[in-house]
Chains A and B, each alone.
Chain A
Amino acid sequence: MAAGPYNYSYIFKYIIIGDMGVGKSCLLHQFTEKKFMADCPHTIGVEFGTRIIEVSGQKIKLQIWDTAGQERFRAVTRSYYRGAAGALMVYDITRRSTYNHLSSWLTDARNLTNPNTVIFLIGNKSDLEAQRDVTYEEAKQFADENECSAKTGDNVEDAFLDTAKKIYQNIQDGSLDLNAAESGVQHKPATPRNPLNTDQTPSKEGCAC
């Protein structure tokens, strides 16, 4: 694990936003640890996780900030939007109110990130088909979206990967300027800030991936 300083060539910063209880933290844990937490308390402020993925043969490290959906954290969480390359905007397909609030989440995301930030819509809890409150067709009209389940893991990978592919594409075609201060993308930084072997616990930040 202490091998080379880097085993990836890009770092993308992501944020996960949306109403409380839609499953943002569960999505993060499912993506970084392939685990589902059935009884997950509300996030305090923000959580952080990382995972290395591959897009077009390039290793990319995703640094993911999972924000608290509760209103009283709004000031806290807003400061994490800055410099995000990707924003996963999540609602719960079994609760229409979480879908109705998307426009305000989208406004925040648009105002607080840069124009190139890739915003991806996710309808979570697709395993609860019987309780569905928002149809796929309806959501599809609002934006390009992906339905997934943090519980079964269905489509969770795709949500994170498709966002990365889009960001990578923006880099390739030059629409995302890597030198811009808040692009949310780093290209293989010169010196590691946290040497990989300082943290021995195999936590999601330990980057054992």
Chain B
Amino acid sequence: MERIINDIVEPEDLKKYELLYNDQTRRGHASDKAQFDYAWCLVRSKYLEDMKRGVALFEDLIRRAKDDIERRDYLYYMSIGYTKIKEYQQALTYVKALLKIEPNNYQALELEKYIEKKMKKEGIMGIAIVSGAVLALGGLIGLGVAMSKK
């Protein structure tokens, strides 16, 4: 998991998908695909501001998601994003929501383990256990709003 979390986007990829996304936005509306590709690059950026922006773009996508298949992908990247930002609380919430959709998802299980290890290491386990309790997917949208107000 370490390797996935620490994987850094190639600057040229980030630039490429940023251009695509901005171009479409300027012309009215960016497609979900353009937004997904750009958000995915941002989450893997070295810079905190980019990561935050990436997570916000995924939060926006998940609001419009049509099915659990799409939701699953977004939840995974949101959890990765929050792990990188070190907001382990949110990271855990999202990975648990993913595990509700696919309880055997190996990537999600590994990510969950990784986040819990990080929390323990950084000593913020207490609060995590309480609110890390599995959240219904419906609750996620509210949570997304609550978080973006921070």
Contact = CB atoms under 8 A, between A and B. Distances in A.
- The answer to whether A and B come from one shared complex is yes
Interface of A: 25, 29, 37, 39-41, 43-48, 63, 72, 75-76, 79, 82, 194, 198-201, 203, 205
A25 B104 CA distance: 14
Q: Give the most central of A63, A72, A79, A194: most B CB within 10 Å.
A: A79
Given A39-B104, A72-B33, A79-B13, A44 B76 contact: yes
Contact of B40 (A39, A41, A76, A203): A76
A35 to B, nearest CB: 10
A8 B46 CA distance: 29
A37 B17 contact: no
7 contacts: A41-B106, A44-B77, A45-B76, A79-B10, A198-B2, A200-B117, A203-B113
Nearest to A39: B104
Interface residues on B, range: 20 to 34
Nearest to A200: B117
Interface of B: 1-4, 6, 9-10, 13, 17, 33, 36-37, 40, 72-73, 76-77, 102, 104-107, 110, 113, 117
A40 B40 contact: no
Chain A interface helix/strand/loop/mixed:
loop
A199 B2 contact: yes
A201 B107 contact: no
B73 A75 contact: no
A201 B117 contact: yes
A37 B4 CA distance: 21
A148 B9 CA distance: 33
A41 B105 contact: yes
Contacts of A205: 1-3
A46 B4 contact: yes
A205 B2 CA distance: 8
A41 B33 contact: no
The 3 A-B pairs of least Cβ separation, nearest first, read A75-B37, A44-B76, A48-B3
A44 B107 contact: yes
B106 A40 contact: yes
A46 B107 CA distance: 9
Q: Give the most central of B1, B9, B102: most A CB within 10 Å.
A: B1
B106 A37 contact: yes
A63 B9 CA distance: 17
A23 B33 CA distance: 26
A38 to B, nearest CB: 10
A200 to B, nearest CB: 8
Contacts of A46: 4
Q: Give the most central of A48, A72, A75, A201: most B CB within 10 Å.
A: A75
B3 A45 contact: no
B110 A45 contact: no
Contacts of B110: 203
